[in-house]
Structure 1
Amino acid sequence: MGFFQLWLISLVTIPFLCSLESVNGIGANWGTQSSHPLPPETVVKMLTDNGIQKVKLFDADYGALKALGKSGIEVMVGIPNDMLATMASSMKAAEKWVSKNVSDHINNNVNIRYVAVGNEPFLSTYNGTFLKTTLPALQNIQAALIKAGLGPKVKVTVPQNADVYESSTGVPSSGDFRTDIHDFMIQLTKFLNENGSPFTVNIYPFISLYIDSNFPVEYAFFDGNAAPVNDGGTTYTNMFDANYDTLVWALQKNGFTNMGIIVGEIGWPSDGDRNANNQLAQRFMQGFMSHIAGNKGTPLRTGPIDAYLFSLIDEDEKSIQPGNFERHWGVFSYDGQPKYALNLGMNNAGALIPANGVKYLQKKWCVMKDSARLDDPSIAQSVSYACALGDCTSLGYGTSCGDLDARGNVSYAFNSYYQKNDQADEACKFPNVSTITKEDPSKGTCQFNIMIEPYYGGANRSFQSIWSFLLGLVMFLLL
């Protein structure tokens, strides 16, 4: 694989205000893998306040869809990969899903325009798990939409990782679908194209930087400082344009010249890695917004870029298997507060507008006792437990809390677990080494968060939260 080719494909997944021409309907991904999600109504108000006209959901979360009713926001609702086999094997299941998660909500004024069938199902690391179920599931959902009378209004799509295409020479004009899945991609893309559906792709320059220490950093951004890449007279100075145009070439070569493209995810995390911080995230996100403003498009395809930023809000329960940065993609933090200056060009403020009316728990934290010793044998076990059930992804080299000393690391771990469990007294009873304080232990860039009040959208969530805590407590007592 050529050096440039590594930059081209991804595996997944000083503040300033600038004047932007209005962007053609920028969207945002709204994930719900949070221990303490903001109320859906609060999130919808954030979307409308910030002029975000489109939202992409990873499932059919009832609370989110209900709150989106009458907002006018265009919605892409998702079917998770673990449901593909069911949708593929049963037309009845597909019809039931469409009725419950599309028709019913459209009848309540939710502006659903797309159904995302799966999420990056052909990702190389899945080893073909979803190859044989994705297209049948897509076909059944399409048929169910037509049967429900929604065919002209609601389109199906399959968000793909950018690794489904590649370049044999490392430049966009050599782009084609990945050899091992070429036939699958042709069949799926042909079906989408015949039904007037777009090709959806997730593009992540950050991931290329994360996996390749030799990746030229400037090429990830939009400042024009990278060494240009010449492709038969077409010049590329950023990875996004090159990656996007590699897909355009792949589509053209296989007979899909005029097929619409949606960028389903694009973003930059703010923590959890040495290249993930507010400064670089702001630089990338503002650079992207400025780059697509005025509908300039890419060298190969001018015009508006249809894109969903990844993501709206941090999610502290996302899997960290790809990396600790996974919980820090939001342009807003867990409590709906902007992380950095960002002008989406969609409201008169020229900056992100925070969530309103957020309610926090009390101003108290769980920390390591002054009298406790670092060589106490229970420390390592307690920290391991706290991090496993809390969130310690802000600890480590180059992260926001990377400069804490050993005692600070212990306190951060304890507080994370304590806050996640709603400041319950029992959650700060690590054996003889923890205590509750009302003095904020935050230091420099490292914030010891106070959790927001839990939102219970229904009895099921409340029961689940209580059960999770009790289960964790029992496990801890058995240690």
Structure 2
Amino acid sequence: MGSLSKASVVLLSLVSLISLALLANGIGANWGTQCSHRLPPEVVVRMLRANGIQKVKLFDAEYDTLKALGKSGIEVMVGIPNDMLSTIAGSMKAADRWVSQNVSTHLNNNNVNIRYVAVGNEPFLATYNGTFLKTTFPALQNIQAALIKAGVANQVKVTVPLNADVYGSSNSLPSGGDFRADIHDYVIQIVKLLSENGAPFTINIYPFISLYIDSNFPVEYAFFDGNSSPLNDGGTSYYNMFDANHDTLVWALQKNGFANLPIIVGEIGWPTDGDRNANIDYARRFNQGFMTHIAGGKGTPMRPGPIDAYLFSLIDEDAKSIQPGAFERHWGVFYFDGTPKYNLNLGTTNSGLVPATGVQKLEQKWCIFKPNAKLDDPQVAPTVSYACALGDCTSLGYGSSCGNLDAQGNISYAYNNYYQINNQHDSACKFSGLATVTRSDPSTGTCRFNIQIQPYYGGAAKRLISIQKGLCLILCVFIVLWTNQ
């Protein structure tokens, strides 16, 4: 072979390696499980693989979830909830035990591809009023030490997913970026440890939240279509909020001496319900725009190159806190039952999203307000309040998918949601005699009256049931033997 051919081979090899690197970078997804009825982990893992999603970020280290991810090849970020930070911060033994049970066991015995441990989840969020300020870094230190002790620190890296409110800009431009003065030293402690251990800085960026809290926020700037007026920062033009926000962090890191620290976008997405700006059209536009924006590996003006990101989120969670807003339960690109909400090309398959398979639903029946019941019945208000307090009525708000229902429709929606969450038990469709069960689907327009999926009993519950059955069998044998004496 001539020298030109060798050069061609080398060039082709480099192109292949670059292509593989971009492919391996792939899109990730946040898999939350705050649901009244969660999809079985095996079903979710099949769905992840069918959609070519190569990375998942978890908010805990639930055994069944991790076991289901074994041998899947999917990269995993396991999470330590904020309420565990104090325990781990105060005890090296607790950190060692956590790593042994939730990292080492799954790496060695279950072939789970754990790559990161997320220590806390947005622990410096301003609304927490400093609750976790003094425990996050010590917990991070102890988990890092535990990973080293376990011999897995080269494979598994620590990180702390932080909200974008940990930094700001002195001049409303990315170049004015720095960490918030009141938490500056706490953040730098974390950044230094991450840098020393080859670990990434994880940030959650939400243009939707900016739009939600500020009615004057320029809507087009939230998206990636290039329709908004660009922000000019010393000759650099920013056409969307994501790039500007991301680079505000890059400037903040650079100003503090950590210009090359890797960045992971831990959460990014758009909800589909629970607010007038949370709808399927906007969600599709945002998520598809983001996928297209990062597909070429161009990056941002301050950080050219592939972006490591996790969509928020995979599946709706109807038991999440709605303190931040009713939209919190509707971030999924899939509904609670694994059905895609809209056509979204992740660049991993030849088509759009692939639905979950093997999902078992409850019967085709709904609980509704009796047609002959009176709207002025004094029991209507308390029964609806009860149903919504113990169910999920976030789709009934102004501008939401069920916001145009009439009074009867609102009552029926509330009753049905409670009925489905309670597995269609007859007692869950009483409501002081105001409700009845129907086989006719009351869904209308954009408003879906859901039928819930079959309840999933995880490994711990199955083991408990098995133990209970065993004890019953022993008791029955004992009774038989005793009565025959």
TM-score if structure 1 supplies the norm length? 0.91
Question: Following the alignment from structure 1 to structure 2, what is the Cα–Cα distance between the partners of residues 135 and 121?
Answer: 10
Equivalent residue, structure 1, for 2:236: 234
How far off is 1:333 after superposition? 0.3
Equivalent residue, structure 1, for 2:182: 180
Q: Deviations over 1:381-422 (max 9, x none)?
A: 000000011110000110000110011000000000000000
How far off is 1:24 after superposition? 2.8
Q: Deviations over 1:4-28 (max 9, x none)?
A: xxxxxxxxxxxxxxxxx95831100
How far off is 1:462 after superposition? 10
Question: Following the alignment from structure 1 to structure 2, what is the Cα–Cα distance between the partners of residues 23 and 294?
Answer: 13
Please tell me the residue identity of whatever aligns with 1:49: A
**Judging changes above 3 Å, is the alpha-carbon distance between structure 1 residues 462 and 110 closer, same or farther for their aligned structure 2 residues?**
closer
Equivalent residue, structure 1, for 2:60: 59
**Judging changes above 3 Å, is the alpha-carbon distance between structure 1 residues 184 and 325 closer, same or farther for their aligned structure 2 residues?**
same
SS at match of 1:304: coil
Is the 1:23–1:293 contact (alpha carbons within 8 Å) kept by the matching residues of 2? no
Equivalent residue, structure 2, for 1:472: none
Equivalent residue, structure 2, for 1:6: none
Is the 2:167–2:249 contact (alpha carbons within 8 Å) kept by the matching residues of 1? yes
**Judging changes above 3 Å, is the alpha-carbon distance between structure 1 residues 189 and 251 closer, same or farther for their aligned structure 2 residues?**
same
Q: Deviations over 1:259-299 (max 9, x none)?
A: 00000000000000000011100000000000001101001
Equivalent residue, structure 1, for 2:365: 364
Equivalent residue, structure 2, for 1:438: 439
Question: Following the alignment from structure 2 to structure 1, what is the Cα–Cα distance between the partners of residues 186 and 38?
Answer: 37
Question: Following the alignment from structure 1 to structure 2, what is the Cα–Cα distance between the partners of residues 184 and 447?
Answer: 45
Question: Following the alignment from structure 2 to structure 1, what is the Cα–Cα distance between the partners of residues 204 and 81?
Answer: 16
| Length, aligned pairs only | 443
Matched, 1:264 2:257: no
Equivalent residue, structure 2, for 1:294: 296
Please tell me the residue identity of whatever aligns with 1:97: W
Q: Deviations over 1:10-58 (max 9, x none)?
A: xxxxxxxxxxx95831100000111111110000001000000000000
SS at match of 1:258: coil
**Judging changes above 3 Å, is the alpha-carbon distance between structure 1 residues 409 and 223 closer, same or farther for their aligned structure 2 residues?**
same
Q: Which moved more, 1:260-269 or 1:187-196?
A: 187-196
SS at match of 2:78: strand
Question: Following the alignment from structure 1 to structure 2, what is the Cα–Cα distance between the partners of residues 331 and 462?
Answer: 32
* Alignment gaps of 5+ in structure 2: 1-21, 466-485
Q: Which moved more, 1:122-131 or 1:254-263?
A: 122-131
Please tell me the residue identity of whatever aligns with 1:137: A
SS at match of 1:394: helix
Query: Of the two structures, which has the highest relative contact order with CA contacts closer than 8 Å and spacing of 6 or more?
Result: 1
Q: Which moved more, 1:455-464 or 1:196-205?
A: 455-464
How far off is 1:178 after superposition? 0.4
Matched, 1:336 2:306: no
Equivalent residue, structure 1, for 2:380: 379
Please tell me the residue identity of whatever aligns with 2:144: Q
Question: Following the alignment from structure 1 to structure 2, what is the Cα–Cα distance between the partners of residues 412 and 22?
Answer: 43
Question: Following the alignment from structure 2 to structure 1, what is the Cα–Cα distance between the partners of residues 23 and 241?
Answer: 23
Please tell me the residue identity of whatever aligns with 2:152: L
Is the 1:314–1:328 contact (alpha carbons within 8 Å) kept by the matching residues of 2? yes
The percentage of aligned residue pairs carrying the same residue is 75
Question: Following the alignment from structure 2 to structure 1, what is the Cα–Cα distance between the partners of residues 23 and 444?
Answer: 39
Q: Deviations over 1:309-333 (max 9, x none)?
A: 0000000100000000000000000
Question: Following the alignment from structure 1 to structure 2, what is the Cα–Cα distance between the partners of residues 432 and 401?
Answer: 24
Question: Following the alignment from structure 1 to structure 2, what is the Cα–Cα distance between the partners of residues 326 and 397?
Answer: 15
1:346-357 matches, within 5 Å, as 346-348=348-350, 350-357=351-358
Please tell me the residue identity of whatever aligns with 2:48: L
Please tell me the residue identity of whatever aligns with 1:371: N
Equivalent residue, structure 1, for 2:119: 117
How far off is 1:343 after superposition? 0.2
- Please say which structure displays the higher CA radius of gyration: 2
SS at match of 2:208: helix
SS at match of 1:303: coil
Q: Deviations over 1:326-354 (max 9, x none)?
A: 00000000000000000000123x21000
Matched, 1:103 2:93: no
Is the 1:367–1:411 contact (alpha carbons within 8 Å) kept by the matching residues of 2? yes
Please tell me the residue identity of whatever aligns with 1:289: M
Match of 1:162 among 157, 161, 164: 164
Match of 1:277 among 262, 279, 286: 279
SS at match of 1:377: coil
Equivalent residue, structure 2, for 1:153: 155
SS at match of 1:431: helix
SS at match of 2:395: coil
1:199-238 matches, within 5 Å, as 199-238=201-240
Matched, 1:416 2:412: no
Question: Following the alignment from structure 1 to structure 2, what is the Cα–Cα distance between the partners of residues 281 and 63?
Answer: 30
**Judging changes above 3 Å, is the alpha-carbon distance between structure 1 residues 456 and 236 closer, same or farther for their aligned structure 2 residues?**
same
How far off is 1:463 after superposition? 8.5
Question: Following the alignment from structure 1 to structure 2, what is the Cα–Cα distance between the partners of residues 59 and 402?
Answer: 34
Q: Deviations over 1:145-192 (max 9, x none)?
A: 000000111000000000000001100000000010111111111111
Is the 2:64–2:459 contact (alpha carbons within 8 Å) kept by the matching residues of 1? no
SS at match of 2:409: helix
SS at match of 2:25: coil
How far off is 1:252 after superposition? 0.3
How far off is 1:235 after superposition? 0.2
Question: Following the alignment from structure 2 to structure 1, what is the Cα–Cα distance between the partners of residues 100 and 302?
Answer: 40
How far off is 1:196 after superposition? 0.6
Question: Following the alignment from structure 2 to structure 1, what is the Cα–Cα distance between the partners of residues 372 and 50?
Answer: 48
SS at match of 1:112: strand
SS at match of 1:295: coil
Equivalent residue, structure 1, for 2:454: 453
Q: Which has the higher helix share?
A: 2
Q: Deviations over 1:445-471 (max 9, x none)?
A: 00000001111114548989xxxxxxx
Please tell me the residue identity of whatever aligns with 2:62: D
Equivalent residue, structure 1, for 2:16: none
Root-mean-square deviation (CA, aligned residues, Å) is 1.3
**Judging changes above 3 Å, is the alpha-carbon distance between structure 1 residues 309 and 248 closer, same or farther for their aligned structure 2 residues?**
same
Please tell me the residue identity of whatever aligns with 2:321: S
Equivalent residue, structure 1, for 2:128: 126
Question: Following the alignment from structure 1 to structure 2, what is the Cα–Cα distance between the partners of residues 463 and 34?
Answer: 21
